[in-house]
Amino acid sequence: MRVVSTIQEVREQVKAWKKEALSIGFVPTMGYLHEGHGSLITNARQNNDKVIVSIFVNPMQFGPTEDLASYPRDLEKDSAFCKSLGVDLIFHPEPEEMYTKNFCSYVDMDVLTKELCGLSRPLHFRGVCTVVNKLFNIVKPDRAYFGQKDAQQLAIIRRMVEDLNMDIQIIGCPIVREEDGLAKSSRNTYLSQEERKAALCLSRSIKMGQALVEAGERDAEKVIARMQEEINKEPLATIDYVKCVNGLTMQQIEHIEGPILVAIAVYIGKTRLIDNFMME
């Protein structure tokens, strides 16, 4: 497994692989890898000749008061993890490699980016779209893998790829959870012991909402109210949002039908966590 930090090194390697007609699976990450990333990598490993993982904490997708500086980083551990899963190349650029001094081009999107997380993180998805676009241009993957835990991000990437005619297959992979239900996230490391327990209100509320919809409840407001009630029982939790939206457009719905996404964002102390369930 190679670990490289320049765009040129990736380009040269990709060129050599393309010459041999080898397919490339790509897993973009911000590092501090966990089993959730592991499932993306394993999926990529099974379906491509070569697997590239990028590890880049993208400054552009963090707001001015967000956790860019404190975002956890551990390249050594991440490299060992990638190696154990059969990754061929890690791309780990410095911010200056990705954003040169006069950088001023962005990829942005209407509608989808203005809902859910976009409301409290107004420039977040512009940063995500821009960096993913850049990474796609550098890595030129056949397939790229994203977690369904970031359901809005996944919908946005799918839209971007379709709207901009990118010849890349986007593959969404299911949420991976801890044994007690908490969705795996690099940000879970911010939680104190007490907060870690409190954070279970997210998966409890998701489970409850899902059970209600599965039992036939079609009134979105009722589902949301029950989920909010569950979260509000937890004193350390502050709801950012609990919403039921169309799974493709991210627009809020009142009646549950078609592909839906029920998504929540909750602060546990200062840590903002997300979770969701989707239904066809």
Residues with Cβ within 8 Å of 182's Cβ and at least 6 positions away in sequence, in order, are 188, 196, 199, 200, 202, 203
How many whole angstroms separate alpha carbon 227 and alpha carbon 138? 42
- Please pick, from the candidates 25, 28, 36, 93, the single residue that binds ligand PAF as defined by CB under 6 A: 28
- Please pick, from the candidates 13, 17, 29, 198, the single residue that binds ligand PAF as defined by CB under 6 A: 29
Helix axes of 151-163 and 124-139: crossing angle, nearest 10 degrees:
60
- Site pattern 118..147 for ligand PAF (x: CB under 6 A): ----------x--xx---------------
CB of 29 to ligand PAF, least distance (A): 5
In the complex with ligand PAF, the residue whose CB is nearer, 48 or 133, is 133
Interface with ligand PAF, residue 36, by CB under 6 A: no
CB of 218 to ligand PAF, least distance (A): 32
Report CA torsion sign: 208, 210, 214, 216: positive
DSSP strands (E only) in the chain = 2-4, 24-29, 50-55, 89-91, 143-147, 169-173, 237-246, 260-268, 271-279
Residues with Cβ within 8 Å of 102's Cβ and at least 6 positions away in sequence, in order, are none
CB of 168 to ligand PAF, least distance (A): 13
Rg over CA atoms, the chain: 19
CB of 57 to ligand PAF, least distance (A): 8
* 37 is known as an active-site residue: yes
Catalytic residue among 34, 37, 92, 255: 37
Residues with Cβ within 8 Å of 127's Cβ and at least 6 positions away in sequence, in order, are 58, 59, 60, 61, 62
In the complex with ligand PAF, the residue whose CB is nearer, 128 or 212, is 128
Give the number of residues in contact with ligand PAF, rule: CB under 6 A.
10
- Site pattern 53..82 for ligand PAF (x: CB under 6 A): -----x--x---------------------
In the complex with ligand PAF, the residue whose CB is nearer, 174 or 258, is 174
Pick the closest to residue 205 from 249, 245, 213, 270 (CA basis).
Answer: 213
In the complex with ligand PAF, the residue whose CB is nearer, 58 or 205, is 58
Interface with ligand PAF, residue 30, by CB under 6 A: yes
User: Which DSSP letter does residue 230 get?
Assistant: H
Question: Considering only residues 194-253, where is the footprint of ligand PAF by CB under 6 A?
Answer: none
Interface with ligand PAF, residue 276, by CB under 6 A: no
Q: Which residue has the tokens 């976009």?
A: 118
CB of 43 to ligand PAF, least distance (A): 15
Instruction: Give me the residues that bind ligand PAF (CB under 6 A), please.
Output: 28-30, 58, 61, 128, 131-132, 150, 153
Catalytic residues: 37
